[in-house]
Amino acid sequence: MSKSHTKSNDFFMARALELAQKGRFQVAPNPMVGAVIVKDKKIVAEGYHKFFGSAHAEVETLKAMRPALLKDCTLFVTLEPCCHHGKTPPCTKAIIKSGIKKVVIATLDPNKKVCGKGVKELEKAGIKVTLIKPKKIIKEAEELNKAFFTFHREKRPYVSLKAAVSLDGKIAENRTARTHLTGKDAEKYTHTLRANHQAILVGAGTVLADNPRLTVRVKALKSLGARDPLRVILAGRRPLPQNARIFDDKNVLVLRNKTIPEVMEILYKKGIVSVLVEGGQSVFTSFIDAGFVDEIHFLIAPVKLGKKAVDFYKN
């Protein structure tokens, strides 16, 4: 497998990465993937993975070209083509059948079912496979699918924490108090975070105190295909009211008396690639202490709550 050096390759891969983002809200648990076909240093076809279960980016892009024209083209794809049967047939088979002779990829697939095997299958068929060289492009490709990479490398979901806090690091103890910490911009940001995660997790205390829906309710996001995340409730023995809004549909998972490592294992086995934690102090503290936090989103209000509220994290 050779290394690329031309600036044109960087340009074409950057376009493929741009295309990949179009599937942001609909492809999970699959990764976002984009692809372009180049001939005579010009993009002649492009595509991306549109939604889970649909044709992958490579196949989508190949379909846009007449087979007779593919022999002298190069396929640029943001992730190593898959070589196993899942919801769709292997992309490697489609690439080999197409007659294309050059493929440039941004990064290897971390899924052990692929991870280098896709490249070997293409090379065995006489296709020249090039791994993009600039670290900036490689970093962008991995950052785009950071949850997917974490899921396969660490065998757990990618975890984000979101909390509205005051200048002195406090969180409000009830829904009414929290409305004074956030506004419309913060609400939209929260719903965008929800749309970007497969699951959202809270404790039973949040359900009892706030009666939240934990859904995506921004029309602009819905128009882009944003789906409601799986709602996960960490509960002990306390009964949860069945008429609570979180139970408006069956897209809910109640986990009782589970440690955080057990929660991570359950979600991993369910194929949950990413989870957004929106809870209270005890839930935030439990995840941080367990070492399963990948990023934290603070919505900071220009006020101090002092003794009227609790710390975000309990030391």
- Catalytic residue at 121? no
Catalytic pick among 46, 58, 121, 278: 58
Q: Strand (E) positions, 87-213?
A: 102-105, 128-131, 158-165, 170-171, 199-203
Distances (CA, A) of 115 to 75, 81, 175, 268, 295: 19, 9, 46, 19, 26
Beta-ladder partners of 160: 276, 295
Nearest Cα residue to 268 out of 159, 161, 160, 155:
155
Token representation of residue 158: 């990618």
Nearest Cα residue to 197 out of 221, 173, 171:
221
Dist CA 129 CA 120 (whole Å)? 9
Cβ contacts of 5-8, under 8 Å, gap ≥ 24: 5/133, 8/41
End-to-end alpha carbon distance in the chain: 50
Nearest Cα residue to 147 out of 16, 297, 299, 295:
295
Amino acid at residue number 286 = S
DSSP single-letter state for residue 274: E
Beta-ladder partners of 163: 298
Dist CA 142 CA 51 (whole Å)? 19
* Ramachandran category for residue 271: left, alpha or beta (phi over 0 → left; psi -120 to 50 → alpha): left
Catalytic (active-site) positions: 58
